[in-house]
């Protein structure tokens, strides 16, 4: 399995019930994910790839999230903290009245989404499948969103 669609927590729980049942039947499951807790929850063996090359094979239950992340990126992941005393007043991303129909039957319909992000240097559509990211990006370009204050 690769790139499962965005699921609600209840749908994800149902997916894992089915996968664990298949696992109990002795069936092999190839599960590709960067979500470390899912890997630890489901997998008996994990093969870590970085840059398309095998880095390690391990038992994910015997590893910490930090050790798995270190294998994945090649360095220790430090705690991320916001800069102290920094005023966050200028919006970095503004989306105004975004509506979008899904490109496939399992996609999510967006209706009149408006938001402002303050205090971020970049944004990402993490968690969206690549086709949905491209579709959102195209819709943003068509609608003039997202925009930053400098671009408005």
Rounded to two decimals, what is the model's pTM? 0.48
Count of C-beta atoms within a 10 Å radius of residue 6: 13
Pull the structure tokens for residue 100: 């979008």
Q: What is the pLDDT of residues 72-105, one digit of tens each?
A: 888 887 776 666 666 777 777 788 888 888 888 8
* Three-point CA angle 7, 119, 129, nearest 5°: 25
Q: What is the pLDDT of residue 89?
A: 74
Q: What is the pLDDT of residues 93-147, one digit of tens each?
A: 788 888 888 888 888 888 998 888 776 555 555 455 555 555 565 655 665 555 5
CB 143, CB 98: distance < 8 Å: yes
């Amino acid at each position: 399995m690769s790139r499962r669609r965005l699921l609600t927590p209840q749908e994800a729980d149902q997916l894992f019930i089915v996968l664990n049942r298949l696992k109990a039947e002795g069936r092999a499951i190839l599960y590709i994910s960067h979500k470390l807790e899912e890997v630890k929850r489901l997998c008996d063996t994990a093969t870590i790839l970085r840059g398309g090359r095998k880095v390690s094979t391990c038992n994910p239950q015997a590893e910490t999230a930090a050790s798995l992340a270190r294998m994945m990126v090649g360095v220790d992941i430090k705690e991320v903290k916001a800069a102290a005393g920094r005023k966050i007043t200028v919006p970095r991303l503004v989306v105004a009245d975004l509506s979008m129909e899904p490109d496939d039957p399992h996609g999510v319909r967006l209706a009149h989404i408006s938001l402002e992000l303050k205090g971020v240097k970049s944004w990402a559509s993490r968690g969206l499948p690549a086709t949905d990211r491209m579709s959102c990006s195209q819709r943003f370009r068509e609608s003039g969103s997202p925009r930053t204050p400098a671009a408005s």
